[in-house]
Structure 1
């Protein structure tokens, strides 16, 4: 039983997931600092408010809180994409070009290829 657990824990995908979780948790403060101290003040300059919590409030129903959460989510997603994902993809692309690594074309499913051939054959019939 312990050997099975050890095998499970030592699998690459479990270790990768654990590392990603720890890095993600550590990176949360960086992204929150960017959103709260850089992007949200820009939103405040544009809209005149730091958040939308009191926007569209009807008694106890406050749609503004949801709007603030959605704006925060979009800002976090944009920050991660433009600050992390896009530069990382460019760096990987540059490294691959430097090393002469060419991406393989996506393998075509044999069934899809056969169906495409049948479709093209039927299209040429009178």
Structure 2
């Protein structure tokens, strides 16, 4: 019974999702603080001393609802890039390495695909003999 539970927990899917969520939550907070307290002041300074940030006031002065804040967008873009780099280098790369040691290829290039002449589905595996969508016999791969 415990062996089955251990095998379930050690499946790649469960481990990757669990670690990914934990790391994502931790780094999300850290990166958000970095962009809010380091990047945003730098971007706001680029506009000048009297401006609330990098952007334009579209309505009445002082109305935050009509302020077009490009600085916040640039900050969110930097946040996204940093976050995705952290996820890639701290989750994907080590996971690929561990799985390669186990003899499993993950996140690789997709295999060759062909198009079904009957229903025009373009995602059939190259070695398929029948279409998964319409059931039409497929010609042999060239």
Q: State TM-score, norm by structure 2.
A: 0.44
TM-score of the superposition, structure 1-length normalised?
0.48
Name the one with the larger helix percent.
Answer: 1
